[in-house]
Structure 1
Amino acid sequence: MHKTKIIFALLYDLLLLLAVWFFVAIPFVLWQGDNIQNSPATLFAFQVYLLGTTYIYLSYFWLQTGQTPGLRTWRLQLIRTDGYILTRRDSYVRFLFSLISVATLGLGWLWLFFNNRHQTFHDMMANTQIIAVKASEQD
């Protein structure tokens, strides 16, 4: 059941992240206009901009409480394997390996189903894990 909750938390966070991307894209698109489609450099800059936005969004939650809105909804928490909240370095490492998981069409997420510690590939590489928390611990 824990693995199912992790997947649902991921989908919930992805939905919220899509809304954030839409919101932050507006000023960039208004500023660049048709140049986004016509200039590979501008398109690349836009992608880097969205990637940076993604890191800021995720790391904010990882560094504060270890709970993105999706993790909080499903009463889960991202922590280091030693039980502490992530450091800035941990968030960089996890984010980098998360990108690799995404770039391989989600193969990094498959580790979740073969690892009894409920770790994905990027969790194993960053020494992090997602744990269940009780409602009283969450508030």
Structure 2
Amino acid sequence: MQRRFTQLDDAWPAGLGRRLGGMMYDAFLVAAIWILIAILHLGFLRLVLGLAAEEVGDGSLQRLTLQLLLLVGAFLFFAFSWTRGGMTLGMQAWRLRVQTLDGRQITWAQSLVRYVVAWVSLATFGLGYAWVLFDSERRSWPDIVSGTRVVVLPKPAR
């Protein structure tokens, strides 16, 4: 069952600047995950399959499996974070949370839609995220297609 978040009345739609800030922080985390995946993939090819150093990277199957692992690794990072607490580490730093339109945690299916549409948004030179500047509710393409929204949380009381 989807948990309903608190602070719904105090949150407001996230603007482009905050979203980009959170994305930059998360890009460093995803890069670290990708480095780990590449090391494990290389270790598997060398140690388990016994390929020589010159053979690593030859053939489309090796490249395809690595690319697929990188995409799946990034998806698992985002989906796990979004479905658990609505925030990645980068989003926490910028006080951002992704939630359903009625203020609940998002599902794995919504996470998958957000993830796929996020790649499309980036592939169109960021137009999917720049859409926040033109949408009256400050929604990006991933928000619109997945039925979610990104909000800014108020500063915690001291």
TM-score over 0.5 for the alignment? Answer: yes
Using structure 1 for the length normalisation, give the TM-score. 0.88
Task: Give the Cα–Cα distance (whole angstroms) in 1 for the partners of residues 122 and 17 of structure 2.
Answer: 19
Task: Give the Cα–Cα distance (whole angstroms) in 1 for the partners of residues 127 and 59 of structure 2.
Answer: 32
Instruction: Name the structure where helix makes up a greater proportion of residues.
Output: 1
Q: What is the CA-CA distance between 1:126 and the residue it aligns to? A: 0.5
Q: Of 87, 107, 110, which aligns to 2:107? A: 87
Is contact 1:35-1:42 (8 Å) kept?
no
Partner of 1:12: 25
Task: Give the Cα–Cα distance (whole angstroms) in 2 for the partners of residues 129 and 34 of structure 1.
Answer: 47
Instruction: Tell me which amino acid in the other structure corresponds to 1:29.
Output: L
Task: Give the Cα–Cα distance (whole angstroms) in 1 for the partners of residues 107 and 62 of structure 2.
Answer: 32
Query: Which shifted more, 6-15 or 95-104?
Result: 95-104
Which structure's relative contact order is higher, taking Cα pairs within 8 Å and 6+ residues apart?
2
Compute the RMSD of aligned alpha carbons: 1.9
Task: Give the Cα–Cα distance (whole angstroms) in 2 for the partners of residues 95 and 43 of structure 1.
Answer: 21
Q: Which runs of 5+ in 2 are unaligned?
A: 1-13, 46-52
**Percentage identity across aligned positions?**
24
Partner of 2:91: 71
Alignment of 1:1-139 (within 5 A): 2-32=15-45, 33-136=53-156
Q: What is the CA-CA distance between 1:118 and the residue it aligns to? A: 2.2
Aligned to 2:57, the other structure's residue is in SS state helix
Aligned to 1:85, the other structure's residue is in SS state coil
Q: What is the CA-CA distance between 1:35 and the residue it aligns to? A: 4.1
Is contact 1:61-1:67 (8 Å) kept?
yes
Is contact 1:79-1:128 (8 Å) kept?
yes
Aligned to 1:37, the other structure's residue is in SS state coil
Deviations 1:55-86 (CA, angstroms, capped at 9, x unpaired): 11000100001010011001110111221110
Q: What is the CA-CA distance between 1:36 and the residue it aligns to? A: 4.5
Aligned to 1:77, the other structure's residue is in SS state strand
Q: Which runs of 4+ in 1 moved over 6 A?
A: none
Distance 1:49 1:35, change over 3 A: farther
Is contact 1:36-1:43 (8 Å) kept?
no
Distance 1:36 1:80, change over 3 A: farther
Using structure 2 for the length normalisation, give the TM-score. 0.79
Q: Which runs of 5+ in 1 are unaligned?
A: none
